């Protein structure tokens, strides 16, 4: 019997992780614990933070978005571009978001050009995902949007995966092009991954 390929292994883990996440209990309370952990533990000198806008059963980021807007007056959010790329936008108010690709709230198209941000300007990136392991390896949703973004960041940009504890796996297969997380934050703990030292 042939061994499953890395692609097949990742697909299987993704399915299991998303089933676990869907069956998870109180997403809102668990996400609030991550929000508190993030704002307590994040080094204050890190200013430019990318926060994904959560949908479905993802770790809810609305609290992070709101608190970051209150503290610094702006937050950077992603939006979908052709060829599975992400654009980056400097958001000043929640009202600038409207439903976009994959039913994800995205910045209004008319505003994008004037507030586009280059990936190299980011200090912190909050990364969604289906599954993570403690070494920082991640499985996304299969489209590669965040994988492409991660390859464009400065080496010192802090990459933080947000996950519920049920999304952690003992080992996730990694390929040469995969970029690991520096931290993983769950409701119960912050994992400093091997890539961070």
> What homologous superfamily is domain 7-102+120-132+147-196 in, according to CATH?
NagB/RpiA/CoA transferase-like (3.40.50.10420)
Enter the pTM of the model: 0.94
What is the pLDDT confidence band of residue 197, given thresholds at 50, 70 and 90? very low
What's the token pair of residue 38? 């993030």
| pLDDT > 90? residue 95 | yes
Tell me the per-residue pLDDT of 130-178, one tens digit each, with 9 for 90 and over: 999 999 999 999 889 999 999 999 999 999 999 999 999 999 999 888 9
CB-based contact 127:173 (threshold 8 Å) = no
The per-residue pLDDT for 148 is 94
Instruction: State the chain's maximal CA–CA distance in angstroms.
Output: 57
Picking from 138, 173, 148, the residue whose alpha carbon sits closest to that of residue 5 is 173
Tell me the per-residue pLDDT of 53-84, one tens digit each, with 9 for 90 and over: 999 899 999 999 999 999 989 999 999 998 89
Distance CA 197, CA 48 (A): 22
Work out the burial of residue 26: count CB atoms within 10 Å of its CB; fewer than 13 is exposed, 13-18 middle, 19 or more buried: exposed
Distance CA 152, CA 17 (A): 27
The per-residue pLDDT for 1 is 54
Tell me the average pLDDT of the chain: 93
Distance CA 147, CA 127 (A): 10
Distance CA 143, CA 109 (A): 22
CB-based contact 112:83 (threshold 8 Å) = no
Ramachandran region of residue 30, left (φ > 0), alpha (ψ -120 to 50) or beta? alpha
The per-residue pLDDT for 177 is 85
CB-based contact 125:150 (threshold 8 Å) = yes
């Amino acid at each position: 019997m042939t061994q499953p390929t890395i692609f097949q292994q990742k697909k299987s883990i993704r399915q299991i992780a998303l089933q676990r996440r869907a069956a998870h209990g109180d997403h809102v309370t668990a996400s609030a614990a991550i929000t508190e952990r993030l704002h307590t533990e994040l080094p204050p000198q890190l200013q430019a933070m990318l926060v994904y806008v959560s949908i479905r059963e993802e770790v809810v980021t609305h609290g992070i978005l709101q608190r970051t807007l209150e503290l610094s007056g702006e937050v950077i959010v992603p939006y979908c571009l052709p060829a599975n790329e992400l654009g980056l936008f400097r958001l000043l108010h929640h009202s600038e978001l409207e439903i976009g690709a994959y039913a994800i709230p995205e910045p209004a198209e008319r505003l994008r050009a004037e507030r586009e941000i280059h990936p190299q300007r980011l200090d912190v990136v909050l990364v969604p995902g289906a599954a993570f392991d403690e070494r920082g390896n991640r499985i996304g949703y299969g489209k590669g949007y965040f994988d492409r973004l991660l390859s464009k960041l400065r080496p010192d940009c802090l990459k933080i995966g947000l996950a519920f504890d049920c999304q952690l796996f003992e080992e996730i297969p990694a390929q040469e092009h995969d970029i690991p997380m520096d931290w993983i934050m769950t409701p119960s703990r912050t994992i400093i991954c091997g890539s961070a030292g």
